[in-house]
């Protein structure tokens, strides 16, 4: 009886000892990894930008010590310290400096558009740089399309950085940042139509709205793609009245707050906002309730 008790006690001691070693190892790694202060670059314009990560005290800091490069730092989930600054991008040549950053975070993934400019808005020499960071790894893409702002799916699995006539620039962890080619995009073909910028749905698919001026209103068509695809398919059309001439050509701004909802806000002030909701196999248009 006594020998069995001693064996059990010894086993518990071994397990606790193992846990102690693991805990000390993790603590040691954290002390080594997160032993730096944040580099705020307070003397730069703009200074470093801190993006809080959901769920704990972790954060990502994005900035530039000289306006020519981009560096990132990760804050300890316990909020005690930062990793060393890591350079993730450097400009070729001279004449531009970091002017602004736009960032979005969801599900532990951060998408950033960094604007490098020479200060002259008319010469078209600005450079956008796309950056996606997750779990202390970053992916970089110079010139990831144009317009809009970065988007991240709620679970952090996919991100959108921009579009161009060839396709949309998307990210996921397995393939990084790449351009998925357009198929069926309404404003990159023939015809007097305009189109919204893409909206990223929670499942990683894209939503685009085609707009055309018609007598007394605007005709909108919703096009959707599959996850991580630029192959657009029209699914529903609706005509909405307008209160004034559509000087903007009915072009809309849209968001996709859920997999079964698209909210459309026309740029023209004479056009009322509305939403499409999917029920079963179809989509229904109705007033946008706030």
Distances (CA, A) of 290 to 163, 183, 256, 286: 29, 33, 15, 12
Task: List pLDDT tens digits, range 164-217.
Answer: 999 999 999 999 999 999 999 988 754 568 889 999 999 999 999 998 888 878
Q: Name residue, tokens 């997999």.
A: 259
pLDDT over 90 (residue 77)? yes
Higher pLDDT pick, 191 / 272: 272
Higher pLDDT pick, 60 / 25: 60
Q: Find the largest Cα–Cα distance for the chain.
A: 95
At residue 182, the pLDDT reads 96
At residue 25, the pLDDT reads 33
Region 134-157: what's the mean pLDDT? 93
Q: How far apart are the first and last CA of the chain?
A: 72
pLDDT over 90 (residue 120)? no
At residue 5, the pLDDT reads 39
Mean residue pLDDT across the chain: 85
Q: Could you give the count of Cα atoms lying within 13 Å of 25 in the half-sphere of its Cβ?
A: 6
User: Environment class of residue 97 by beta-carbon count within 10 Å: exposed (0-12), middle (13-18) or buried (19+)?
Assistant: middle
Predicted TM-score (pTM) of this structure: 0.84
At residue 18, the pLDDT reads 43
With beta carbons less than 8 A apart as the criterion, state whether 63 and 49 touch.
yes
Q: What angle do CA 129, 104, 34 make, to 5 degrees?
A: 85
Q: Name residue, tokens 């946008």.
A: 288
Specify which residues 277 forms β-bridges with.
261, 284
CA 234 to chain centre: 24
Pairing between strand 151-152 and 282-287? unpaired
* Spatial distance between the Cα atoms of 80 and 71, rounded to a whole number of angstroms: 20
Of the pLDDT bands very low, low, confident and very high (cuts 50, 70, 90), residue 16 is: very low
pLDDT over 60 (residue 136)? yes
With beta carbons less than 8 A apart as the criterion, state whether 72 and 65 touch.
no
* Spatial distance between the Cα atoms of 25 and 19, rounded to a whole number of angstroms: 10
DSSP assignment of 251-268 equals -EEEEEEETTEEEEEESS
Higher pLDDT pick, 119 / 235: 235
* Spatial distance between the Cα atoms of 289 and 3, rounded to a whole number of angstroms: 73
């Amino acid at each position: 009886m006594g020998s069995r008790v001693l064996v059990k006690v010894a086993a518990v001691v071994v397990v606790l000892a193992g846990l102690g070693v693991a805990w000390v190892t993790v603590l040691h790694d954290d002390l080594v990894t997160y032993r730096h202060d944040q580099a705020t670059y307070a003397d730069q314009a703009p200074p470093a930008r801190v993006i809080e990560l959901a769920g704990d005290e972790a954060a990502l800091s994005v900035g530039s010590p000289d306006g020519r490069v981009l560096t990132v730092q990760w804050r300890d989930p316990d909020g005690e310290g930062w990793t060393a600054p890591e350079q993730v991008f450097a400009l070729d040549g001279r004449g531009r400096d970091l002017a602004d950053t736009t960032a979005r975070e969801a599900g532990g993934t951060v998408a950033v558009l960094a604007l490098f400019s020479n200060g002259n808005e008319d010469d078209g020499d600005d450079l956008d740089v796309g950056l996606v960071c997750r779990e202390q790894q970053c992916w970089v893409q110079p010139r990831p399309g144009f317009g809009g702002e970065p988007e991240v799916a709620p679970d952090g699995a996919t991100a959108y950085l921009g579009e161009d006539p060839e396709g949309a620039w998307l990210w996921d962890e397995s393939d990084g940042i790449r351009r998925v080619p357009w198929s069926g995009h309404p404003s990159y073909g023939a015809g007097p139509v305009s189109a919204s910028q893409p909206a990223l749905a929670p499942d990683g698919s894209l939503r685009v709205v085609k707009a055309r001026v018609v007598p007394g209103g605007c005709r909108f068509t919703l096009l959707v793609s599959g996850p991580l695809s630029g192959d657009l398919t029209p699914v529903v059309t609706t005509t909405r009245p307008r209160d004034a001439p559509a000087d903007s050509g009915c072009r809309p701004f849209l968001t996709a707050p859920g997999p079964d909802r698209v909210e459309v806000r026309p740029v023209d002030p004479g056009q009322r906002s509305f939403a499409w909701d999917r029920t079963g196999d179809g989509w229904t248009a109705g007033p946008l309730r706030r």
